[in-house]
Structure 1
Amino acid sequence: MSKRKSPVSFKNTVHLSLRGLGIWWRENPCLLLSILICGIIEALSPYVDIWLLARLIDEIAGARDQQQLTVYVLALMSTSAVLSLLCTGLTRWKNTQLASLWHTQNKVFIEKLLSMDFADMDDSHVQELRSQIWQNTDSGGWGLYKLIYSFETIVRAIMSIIGASFLTASMFILPVKTNDGGSMILNHPILVLLIFAVMLGVTFAAPVLSVKAGSYWIKYADENQLGNRLFGFWLGELGNDRSKALDVRIYRQDILSRNNLKKYNPFIPTSKLAKASRGPMGGYSAMSGAISQLFVGVAYLFVCLKALGGAFGVGAIVQYVSTIIALSSGLSTLIEALGDLRNNTPFLHTVFNFLDLSNKMEQGDAAINQYNRNGYEIEFRNVSFKYPGQDNYALYNVSMKFHAGQKLAVVGMNGSGKTTFIKLLCRLYDPTEGEILLNGINIQKYSYHEYMKLFSVVFQDFKLLSFELGQNVAGSIAYDYGKAVQCLRKSGFGIRFDKLPKGLSTALYKDFDENGINISGGEAQKIAFARALYKDAPFIILDEPTAALDPIAEFEIYSRMEQMIGEKSAVFISHRLSSCRFCQDIIVFHMGRLTQRGSHEVLVSDKSGMYYKLWSAQAQYYKAVD
């Protein structure tokens, strides 16, 4: 994290902080408005009470005019009540807006993830940036989060300074009237300036030391991130993720090793941050507090000496003591908040390094005729591809055509390039070399979103969400009931569906509904099938579509495949070569190259080819269904 060790300029701090606040304004302007208005009212309210209280005390100590006293008492009571009621209402509004802070920030990053090129989203550097942002937020509220609370602090501090300055200024101007004990020297301009300078110096020193203490969060940010990541993984993912539950219980003694947590945990006494807290970090904080108290002593001494000299009365003492301490506190708070913003700048750099990632995939605008279902032809022309940061080709010099209505099987050993072929077909990646054509036009020229509408895909690691069954099938909150049911029956989920009392309204899993149902891997795969059918795209792609099914269920699925898919184009990726017998065309990948193509009968007759080797290795499992 070398960036954190380089000096941070004031200009850079202002630029990034304003840019970050601009994001909050775009996402939720009421949040900033509520903080601003609430901060102004809450910061200035005490000074109204202080001013009225000082007048009341002066009247009690002086003329004691009952009419005037009544006016001051009523004014003090009414303004206090009104301002208290107003502050309560504004605070409620502000807190309502702050309640959405985490979700709003999460929305910003999720929208970025969903809008970026899949190649970037799948990149380890991007994932590391994302992880750093969350760890920074979790460990000390750094990044965009810090801006909100710093903004609130700065608004309050500035308004407090304005209010206190207005009520304090006369303390330095009003002259001492008696020379008892040489108090007339307090009228000397140089002494007044000197006392003011001392107060100002003390006021600035305290927050500077406090900011210095806070800088240790930056110094040990890397260790804190790692510790938070391990701690969160241990208590969060391993404890809550049902997909890891079985492994955790079998291997928990090794996985949940407390020694690992002790080694990297930033919250234990032996961590670097804890040692710094007991050492220089704690020392700076203690010095900051001590200096703040020194200021209080200087302020009391100056006010009392001027009061003894007859510069002002008892009520003014209350006013000046309260406001000068508030002025110092406001200045210290402002300086500390600005220091926090400076400390926050490196963390904002990480945020904007992520948000500023630009999409490199060419986004065309050519329209696709969505109704030309029988006129699509896809061609791979000398396509080669390397994953980012890799030297070896995942696919090399692949050329082939695929026509509408065709059923294509894609087979090969693990790592042969099958899934990469699908990712390129769906334009999750662009080829490193060569081009992919749709009806003779490079797919990069088409509208990306229109091109994506051509494909329904069931990936090997597909995910279902903890929402209603119908919403999972449709991929939408609103859906066509009859169409969703039809797709479920086509996919083989009909028997289980008929047993569900709430039908399509049944929640999957129990994350949001205690009456939700848990489903088996095979059932989940059938729902994923139904989702692919519901989209009704001209191309259906199935990546290991029967991986979670037993051989009998697999045979049933493939027996109904023609009925399920109909006239649509279909691409099957499978390690179980039984699926190939339902396809007119089979392509074989080996070590990133397309090595064979043909029907099952043609390929299995070539005993020197990879297809024959794969088929022979699995043939014993297909005898029962021949």
Structure 2
Amino acid sequence: MSNATHTETSGTSTARPQPWRYELRALGLWWRLQPNWLLATVLDALCQAAAPYATIWCSAQLINELAGRRDPAALRSWVILILATTIALALAGAVCHHWKQAEDEMLPVSGRLPVADKLMDLDFPIADDQRTYDTVSSIRQNNNFNGRGLSESVQVLNEALPALFQIAGGVALSVSLFTSPVPESGGQLALLNSPWCAVLMVVVLAGVVVLSSACYAHGDGFWVGFAEDGRFGNRVFAFFGASFANDKRAMDCRMYGQFEHVAIPFWRANNSFDAHSPAMRRVLWPLTLWQSLSVAVSTMLIGVVYAFVCLKAWGGAFGVGSVTQYVGAITTAFTGLSTLLKSAGRVRNNAPFLKTVFDFLDTPNTMYQGSLTTEKRTDRQYDVEFRDVSFRYPNAADDQWALRHVNLRFRVGSRLAVVGENGSGKTTFIKLLCRLYDPTEGRILLNGIDIRKYRYDEYLRIFAVVFQDFQLLALPLGQNVACAARYDRELAADCLDKADFGDRLASMPHGLDTSLYKDLDQSGVQVSGGEAQKIAIARALYRDAPFIVLDEPTAALDPIAEAQIYAKFDEIAGNKTAVYISHRLSSCKFCDDIAVFDHGNIVQYGTHDQLVSDQSGKYHQLWQAQAQYYAAN
């Protein structure tokens, strides 16, 4: 874990980003996520660019005919061609545009997949690290605040593709502007035939476009600089905005007036998006100034184009209809060039945000991945041993050990209780057992072989764990039990029945197909904390693993309810090796062995009667501390 690579969380990095490499990589990622979107985007951009040019060219020919021969047959042909072209392009454009809109609707969902998939693929020690959480939070906040990151790369392509087609079409329709000479009868306007005049025209137009784009990019840079303040404002808004609808906060809010007296004053004092806030003032005025200047400079382009084209037409180089063609073509082409340069500026400004994304996606896993398969034993005789195991969390101080010199061997089919005060190392012990972390020192053996040599996925299959903070999904009950969309319905119902959930299942309106909670289904049912725990236990039973672990999943229940769950669970665990973690010692009296943890060490090991009789021991101390409250009642 200590060798893992972590990214900066500020949205920027000290390393110099490579804008176009990141942009192309982002587009390649989108291609893998939604290949149809890219095809739809290209066709939609082509239709967008083709329609105005077709209209410009056909209209120019029609006007030239009206200003020239006025042949009825030719006019009729041009009108029919204009109508047919307009209809065909409108239909094609509508089809492509609606196709693209449908693909666009899926982009927000698809865009979350790379980070989500990477989180699931990361070694747990890296995923569990605060720096990883900060990085992922930064990526999401950048996207939510101003769409920077992968979403921005989509917007750049949406701008750049039509611009490229506009440039290509404009150049094609504008070539004859420079090749059509002014006749000698044009007098001094014949100077416009000089190639240097054409070069000067192109240079002036290009200069105007570059200057306009530079002003826009410079102004956009101020918005990028607002990212950190914007992310904080988003966090404040997201927290307090969601808190209003959080039913778990409703009673406190009403009892103590938290929103009126705390939340709203805090929001007003930290609203980064208020136009009068210091952060926004640093951005709003310079951004407005530079981008307004960009628009003003762009307007000069139209004036230069009109002057050049009209002078050549006045000199007799072409007819009045061609004026429409050339003005429209050049203006559209250089507008496309301006958009393309602005897109290049957006690519540069987006590069630091894409770097954060790709640095995270490139984070390497560091845990050793073994290749041995776990032995498939029908007798469940899996021997697990902790041999002088010590563990220190990544980034912890050298003397801050979570576990120290733990030696323990599980008896197959036994019931082991793990007890101790908060912070004594109980949950860390389970994390090592399930290989969510690897020991810092010592070894954990499965059937005499270091567990690191086994295939990770196969090793995990021998464990079924109900964590203290277990989670159920807002999906049908049966899918929650099986952790699969397709499952054995009879087995799922049997596991629920064994977990003492059979009566509740019978009362549910759709049985196993009843949705839990109402997040995704208005007809979903709310389950109590105790019912949720029974479902979590049924999920562990469905897995049918040789080791089953309960890591304080009943901490929120009263002692009697907890004891009932453990007693019931002891009956149904069968020949499985079971590990129970609990604060309440009375719940673990039925266990074969009890390991007492204190400051990362196993300080006692034995049966309940043996440990409670040792008046100098930690277990006796804990037992008496709890028993006195129940005796007093």
Asked if these proteins are the same fold (TM beyond 0.5), I'd say: yes
2:340 aligns with one of 334, 338, 348 = 334
Contact 2:11/2:139 (<8 A) preserved: no
2:548 corresponding residue in structure 1: 540
Q: 1:120 to 1:7 in 2, by over 3 A?
A: closer
Contact 1:20/1:147 (<8 A) preserved: yes
Q: Letter of the 1:112 partner, please give it.
A: K
Q: 1:248 to 1:376 in 2, by over 3 A?
A: farther
Q: 1:215-294 residue pairs with structure 2 within 5 A?
A: 215-236=221-242, 238-251=243-256, 253=258, 257-272=263-278, 274-294=280-300
Contact 1:4/1:218 (<8 A) preserved: no
2:452 aligns with one of 444, 459, 470 = 444
Gaps of 5+ in 2: 1-7
Quick one: distance in 2 between partners of 1:283 and 1:217? 13
- For residue 443 of structure 2, give the secondary structure of its aligned residue in structure 1: strand
Contact 1:13/1:342 (<8 A) preserved: yes
Quick one: distance in 2 between partners of 1:243 and 1:419? 27
| Cα displacement (A) at 1:147 | 0.9
- For residue 403 of structure 1, give the secondary structure of its aligned residue in structure 2: coil
Is 2:27 the partner of 1:21?
yes
Q: 1:3 to 1:413 in 2, by over 3 A?
A: closer
Is 2:107 the partner of 1:93?
no
Q: Letter of the 1:381 partner, please give it.
A: R
1:396 aligns with one of 404, 413, 420 = 404
Q: 1:614 to 1:217 in 2, by over 3 A?
A: same
2:3 corresponding residue in structure 1: none
Quick one: distance in 2 between partners of 1:589 and 1:5? 43
Q: Letter of the 2:503 partner, please give it.
A: I
Quick one: distance in 2 between partners of 1:343 and 1:481? 53
Quick one: distance in 1 between partners of 2:30 and 2:13? 27
Q: Letter of the 1:609 partner, please give it.
A: G
Quick one: distance in 1 between partners of 2:67 and 2:299? 30
Is 2:217 the partner of 1:211?
yes
| Cα displacement (A) at 1:470 | 1.3
Is 2:627 the partner of 1:619?
yes
> Which is further off, 416-425 or 102-111?
102-111
Quick one: distance in 2 between partners of 1:273 and 1:623? 61
1:80 corresponding residue in structure 2: 86
| Cα displacement (A) at 1:517 | 1.3
Is 2:130 the partner of 1:143?
no
Is 2:163 the partner of 1:157?
yes
| Cα displacement (A) at 1:215 | 0.7
Contact 1:373/1:404 (<8 A) preserved: no
2:390 corresponding residue in structure 1: 384
Contact 1:216/1:273 (<8 A) preserved: no
1:453 aligns with one of 447, 461, 470 = 461
Quick one: distance in 2 between partners of 1:278 and 1:623? 68
- For residue 560 of structure 1, give the secondary structure of its aligned residue in structure 2: helix
| Cα displacement (A) at 1:246 | 4.2
1:431 corresponding residue in structure 2: 439
Contact 1:382/1:435 (<8 A) preserved: yes
TM-score (ref. length: structure 2): 0.95
Quick one: distance in 2 between partners of 1:297 and 1:335? 20
2:415 corresponding residue in structure 1: 407
Sequence identity (%): 45
- For residue 410 of structure 2, give the secondary structure of its aligned residue in structure 1: strand
TM-score (ref. length: structure 1): 0.96
2:570 corresponding residue in structure 1: 562
Deviations 1:533-563 (A, max 9, x none): 1111111100113323333333332332332
| Cα displacement (A) at 1:398 | 0.8
Is 2:328 the partner of 1:322?
yes
Is 2:125 the partner of 1:119?
yes
Contact 1:380/1:401 (<8 A) preserved: yes
Contact 2:468/2:554 (<8 A) preserved: no
Q: 1:5 to 1:107 in 2, by over 3 A?
A: closer
| Cα displacement (A) at 1:513 | 1.6
Deviations 1:486-526 (A, max 9, x none): 21121122232232232212211111222211111111111
- For residue 215 of structure 1, give the secondary structure of its aligned residue in structure 2: helix
Contact 2:164/2:340 (<8 A) preserved: yes
Give aligned pairs, total: 622
2:301 corresponding residue in structure 1: 295
Quick one: distance in 1 between partners of 2:250 and 2:435? 34
Quick one: distance in 2 between partners of 1:401 and 1:508? 39
Q: 1:441 to 1:339 in 2, by over 3 A?
A: same
Contact 1:183/1:305 (<8 A) preserved: yes
| Cα displacement (A) at 1:146 | 0.9
1:582 corresponding residue in structure 2: 590
2:530 aligns with one of 517, 522, 536 = 522
Q: Letter of the 1:347 partner, please give it.
A: F
Q: Letter of the 2:461 partner, please give it.
A: K
Contact 1:228/1:265 (<8 A) preserved: no
Quick one: distance in 2 between partners of 1:460 and 1:414? 13
Deviations 1:261-300 (A, max 9, x none): 2333221013355314442211111110100111111111
Contact 1:469/1:508 (<8 A) preserved: yes
Quick one: distance in 2 between partners of 1:7 and 1:587? 50
Quick one: distance in 1 between partners of 2:586 and 2:630? 7
Q: Letter of the 1:50 partner, please give it.
A: I
Contact 2:149/2:354 (<8 A) preserved: yes
| Cα displacement (A) at 1:571 | 0.3
- For residue 399 of structure 1, give the secondary structure of its aligned residue in structure 2: strand
Q: Letter of the 1:158 partner, please give it.
A: L
| Cα displacement (A) at 1:475 | 1.3
Is 2:36 the partner of 1:30?
yes
Quick one: distance in 2 between partners of 1:252 and 1:353? 43
